């Protein structure tokens, strides 16, 4: 997984004032699944990327590239 995405994901989550657990619950996944995305161990599928964008209220480009 792209390190930039992992850093963006963590940064955006923190700027929204959310914990990993809160985001995981909103997505309907276990906390360790979400944590693995931030750590670059696994990556979310397209559906989860869309949901992340909705939760964080950012576009996919910003989520993935930080733009």
Q: Is the pTM of this model over 0.95?
A: no
Q: Is 4 exposed, middle or buried, given 0-12, 13-18 or 19+ CB atoms closer than 10 A?
A: exposed
Tens-digit pLDDT profile for residues 46-55: 999 999 999 9
The per-residue DSSP string of 37-63 comes to HHHTSS---HHHHHHHHHHHT--HHHH
Q: Give CATH for domain 3-65.
A: 1.10.260.40
Token pair, residue 43, equals 């990556």
Does position 40 have pLDDT exceeding 90, yes or no? yes
């Amino acid at each position: 997984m792209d390190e930039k995405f992992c850093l963006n994901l963590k940064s955006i989550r923190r700027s929204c004032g959310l914990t990993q657990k809160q985001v995981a619950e909103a997505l309907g996944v276990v906390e360790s699944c979400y944590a693995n995305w931030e750590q670059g161990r696994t990556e979310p599928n397209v559906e989860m990327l869309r949901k992340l964008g909705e939760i964080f209220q950012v576009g996919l480009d910003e989520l993935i590239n930080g733009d």
